[in-house]
A and B are shown apart, each in its own frame.
Chain A
């Protein structure tokens, strides 16, 4: 019954309801529960969970926790380096791929490969490549005369974190490049023609047309990559398990280890909520950047 507009709106509620229900059940409840868990001293023992509320003690303990502070700094360092490196490299790749030479379909396939492969398979692969004794990387570097003794990529404190970082950059660049490529394809070609007529060289065109036009996309890329870097887990779990000497313990891994290895669920939840809080701020930034698109859609 009713007019078309009324019927469409009613149909809309019906169409939306199942999805919202599912999301509320599997997301909203856990988010709220996670807050509550972090206020408890909750340990898993013999398949049961016994908790008691201890207020903000878990958060207080975080401040004094050396491991947590180290993980926090390592995560911040890891994320900062990765975001800068990934976005710069991805920008380079995207620029190469919009060049007439780079427009062949084969390059697009190459671009998708690292994104598509399972992070775990990727980690296993790199663990093999980086293997101290039999790894192809050490073999190659030795053959080339660049190293004299095998480098223990994943077993040396300090170096291990940077090795993991490099592998994650390798895996992350392609997708961000796809993102930037989408942004580049939206720059009206007439701008370049106009700039060439005005005598701008390639660098000037990049500086005065490409970069300003691409800025919103770059901003989105930075935020998304930050969120993904904060979440890194699979690589560390497979490649280093946090070692050596906790040198590759990043926040997400720490939260996992605390919860599921040390079975300290309340404390683990507190660490998780720290990641959540940082992510939330970034997420709001992302949504703010997409705001015009949303408004347009809402009309």
Chain B
């Protein structure tokens, strides 16, 4: 087990820079997710950590040792690949035991360790099948088994669930999390699925165009995103932003978006004004409360999704989505009032650079 550190790591393919200076510190035993849309450099970053590709510049450290010039095997990392990448011509037992066989470990010792790993993953009954005869979940567990048997310093996961159907994906997610809790091995997990990242990680590194935009706990990146980019990428449905400005209404500061005026504390208003006049406001749907008082709006659209209903509210000059528990019905066009429950749930961003503003 070991900590992993990346210092100003860059990677270019020809003239195309994929990683433009990635800094990351993963603590021993931590589960960290690299999250971002395709093309943000997350998979390349993982490959650089694994040693599957060479970094163009910067340092990669595992357990305090610089590993830039080492092979994946020498770095002592294990990896679970997209589509599992199981060896199609080998049985489950041979797949899991391949790495030990390469090390010249005696056949009987390999057999015992494979059996133990397979037991822990409930793969005992299928040990002598080839991957093509396994279900998706079983293939996934073989891939995990192949990584576990190494007893590596670091587990790396490259979008392992991306080709599973939704139900299985959630099940495998739980299995990976339990595995991490049981073994406590430092793990780095790449995904473009924000829900997966939130549910699995100790910390999430949200990546953007070859850099880490924000690195924090799931709670931090969700409630205190440092930028519009992070705020919109995390959370579902994606956050929308309302352009507006600070004004005074009856002597009290408000943030005005068209016909709507969101009340502000004096402190927040001052911070916003210092940061510049034009800002964008975002509020998570669960913090937008419908009630008998507050800002007046009409219901444009209601989308029940089971545990909740997302209600799109619209007023002259703006629109916001509220989350109402349960399967609620709203007539389109009906008049409602809403407010954002607490001022800290109003997230302000610089309208141009997208940086978070007025944060404590």
Q: Which B residues are in CB contact (< 8 Å) with A2?
A: 69
Number of residues from B at the complex interface, CB < 8 A: 9
Q: Nearest chain-A residue to B52 (Cβ)?
A: A4
Give Cα A7 to B69, complex, Å. 11
Asked if A3 is an interface residue, CB under 8 A from chain B, the answer is yes
Which residues of chain B in 55-81 are interfacial with respect to chain A, using CB atoms and an 8 Å cutoff?
68-72
- A1-22, CB under 8 A of B: which get 1 and which 0? 0111111000000000000000
Asked if B319 is an interface residue, CB under 8 A from chain A, the answer is no
Q: Which B residues are in CB contact (< 8 Å) with A3?
A: 51, 54, 68-71
- B225-251, CB under 8 A of A: which get 1 and which 0? 000000000000000000000000000
Which residues of chain B in 20-79 are interfacial with respect to chain A, using CB atoms and an 8 Å cutoff?
51-54, 68-72
Q: Which A residues are in CB contact (< 8 Å) with B54?
A: 3-6
Q: What does DSSP make chain B's interface, helix, strand, loop or mixed?
A: loop
Give Cα A127 to B73, complex, Å. 65
Q: Which B residues are in CB contact (< 8 Å) with A6?
A: 54
- Asked if B69 and A4 make an inter-chain contact with CB atoms under 8 angstroms apart, the answer reads no
Give Cα A4 to B75, complex, Å. 11
Q: Nearest chain-B residue to A1 (Cβ)?
A: B69
Q: In whole Å, how far is A1's beta carbon from the nearest beta carbon of chain B?
A: 8
Q: Which A residues are in CB contact (< 8 Å) with B72?
A: 4
Q: Which A residues are in CB contact (< 8 Å) with B70?
A: 3
Q: In whole Å, how far is A298's beta carbon from the nearest beta carbon of chain B?
A: 11
Which residues of chain A in 1-49 are interfacial with respect to chain B, using CB atoms and an 8 Å cutoff?
2-7
Q: Which B residues are in CB contact (< 8 Å) with A5?
A: 53-54
Give Cα A6 to B72, complex, Å. 12
Give Cα A6 to B53, complex, Å. 9
Give Cα A7 to B52, complex, Å. 11
Q: In whole Å, how far is A3's beta carbon from the nearest beta carbon of chain B?
A: 5
Q: Which A residues are in CB contact (< 8 Å) with B51?
A: 3-4
- B245-266, CB under 8 A of A: which get 1 and which 0? 0000000000000000000000
Q: Which B residues are in CB contact (< 8 Å) with A4?
A: 51-54, 71-72
Which of A4, A5, A6 has the largest number of chain B CB atoms within 10 A?
Answer: A4
Q: Nearest chain-B residue to A6 (Cβ)?
A: B54
Q: Which B residues are in CB contact (< 8 Å) with A7?
A: 71
Give Cα A68 to B71, complex, Å. 62
- A244-287, CB under 8 A of B: which get 1 and which 0? 00000000000000000000000000000000000000000000
Give Cα A221 to B71, complex, Å. 45
Q: In whole Å, how far is A299's beta carbon from the nearest beta carbon of chain B?
A: 8
Give Cα A3 to B66, complex, Å. 13
Q: Which A residues are in CB contact (< 8 Å) with B52?
A: 4
Q: Nearest chain-B residue to A5 (Cβ)?
A: B54
Q: Nearest chain-B residue to A3 (Cβ)?
A: B54
Q: In whole Å, how far is B293's beta carbon from the nearest beta carbon of chain A?
A: 56
Q: Which A residues are in CB contact (< 8 Å) with B53?
A: 4-5
Give Cα A5 to B54, complex, Å. 7
Give Cα A50 to B6, complex, Å. 71
Which residues of chain B in 101-132 are interfacial with respect to chain A, using CB atoms and an 8 Å cutoff?
none
Q: Which A residues are in CB contact (< 8 Å) with B71?
A: 3-4, 7
Q: In whole Å, how far is B17's beta carbon from the nearest beta carbon of chain A?
A: 16
Q: Nearest chain-A residue to B55 (Cβ)?
A: A3
Q: Nearest chain-A residue to B51 (Cβ)?
A: A4
Which of B54, B68, B71 has the largest number of chain A CB atoms within 10 A?
Answer: B71
Q: In whole Å, how far is A69's beta carbon from the nearest beta carbon of chain B?
A: 51
Q: In whole Å, how far is B95's beta carbon from the nearest beta carbon of chain A?
A: 21
Q: Nearest chain-A residue to B71 (Cβ)?
A: A4
Give Cα A3 to B69, complex, Å. 5
Which residues of chain B in 68-102 are interfacial with respect to chain A, using CB atoms and an 8 Å cutoff?
68-72
Give Cα A3 to B51, complex, Å. 7
- B300-335, CB under 8 A of A: which get 1 and which 0? 000000000000000000000000000000000000
Q: In whole Å, how far is A226's beta carbon from the nearest beta carbon of chain B?
A: 36
Q: In whole Å, how far is A260's beta carbon from the nearest beta carbon of chain B?
A: 50
Q: Which residues of B contact A (CB under 8 A)?
A: 51-54, 68-72
> Which 9 A-B residue pairings sit nearest by Cβ, starting from the closest?
A5-B54, A4-B71, A3-B54, A4-B51, A3-B69, A4-B72, A4-B52, A3-B51, A5-B53
17 A-B contact pairs sorted by A residue (CB < 8 Å):
A2-B69, A3-B51, A3-B54, A3-B68, A3-B69, A3-B70, A3-B71, A4-B51, A4-B52, A4-B53, A4-B54, A4-B71, A4-B72, A5-B53, A5-B54, A6-B54, A7-B71
Give 4 A-B pairs besides A3-B51, A3-B70 with Cβ atoms closer than 8 angstroms: A4-B71, A4-B72, A5-B53, A5-B54
